[in-house]
Amino acid sequence: MIVVALCRPGFEPECASDLARIAAVAGARIECTPVPRAAFVAASIAAFDEKRWRSALMRRPAWFARSIFAGDGPHALSERDRITPLVALVRAHRPAFSALWLETPDSDEGKRRSGLCRRLAGPLETAAADARLLDARPTGPPSVRSGVADRLQRRLHILFVDSTHAYVGTSDAATGSPWPMGIPRLSMPRAAPSRSALKLAEAFVTFLNDEERARLLKPGMHAVDLGAAPGGWTLQLAQRGLRVTAIDNGPLKGGIAHDPHVEHLRLDGLAWRPRRRVDWMVCDIVLQPSRIAALVAAWIGDGHCRRTIFNLKLPMKKRYAEVERCEAIIRERLEARALRHVLAFRQLYHDREEITGYCAVND
């Protein structure tokens, strides 16, 4: 069995480390040689067990892999007729499927093949439907559906690594990415003072499901934005009706500087603490990852906030080890306080040389 994981270009070794750790949880071993700048990793797993792999994905979600599917390939395809052999390959993957995703790696070369995917999508979906390979029942995201069958909706992935070679495989709604290529489609708010606004928007849809976003991001809740300037993350919170205390010695830019939901304090974000516990603390301060991890651990562990989203700016080398170190810093502080908590990391599409974390205590 081949397991394919898509990632940010330049993070192939970290993506391979993700697969190795997930495989270890599943009691398996992988073999792979990451290709620099390929924006994906293909790993071979002997004696693949689908149930154990799915369980491992749920217990140990990936940090750097945006989307993971299991299948086979790469398969050679003729430029004259790609549809017929692809339909034949799909039959071997236990249809029917709730969705058919034609994908490319998120590399410069992969982006040039997006037109090929668009041209093939309609004819291939028609051929697959005619061959009864697609499930005609209505589908929805796992956050709003119920039942084992719904959670295990199977999506078909066809990843074109070049114009004539593709991997074919499947993922399910319970453990796979909700979006093709693992990339959510988000719109930049017109009033956003920086593109960083999209990072927090993506973090909300990545770490929280529909019900959690409605319950945990209610108008009137109180949030603190550490390192707020120029105001992209503050904007995302204020537009949801949260009252925001923006902490930064620098200025907020644009309309967010005058938003009635926002109080801007020109203070040191590392030293400031609220008088009362707040619902959210978000942090995008540029600082060594371990210092941000210690800051997050103090805010959560000392009861200054209920939940937090934060960015870790990663070093050029030993990036995976640095995330492991930061995870340990936070967990040790919270476990010492006997706090039941959730801690997750994910390199988002809108991240660069960084990774985003989410931590929450269970009241």
* Residues known to be catalytic: 313
What is the per-residue DSSP string for 103-154?
A: E--SSHHHHTTHHHHHHHHHHHHHHHHHTT-B--S----GGG--SHHHHT-E
CA distances from 311 to 227, 245, 321, 333, 350 (A): 11, 18, 16, 18, 11
Preceding omega of 74 cis (within 30 degrees of 0): yes
Q: State the Cα–Cα distance between residues 206 and 71, nearest whole angstrom.
A: 25
The residue assigned the tokens 């590392």 is 270
The residue assigned the tokens 């390959």 is 89
Give me the residues paired with residue 171 across strands.
Answer: 155
Residues 6+ apart with CB under 8 A from 131: 87, 90, 91
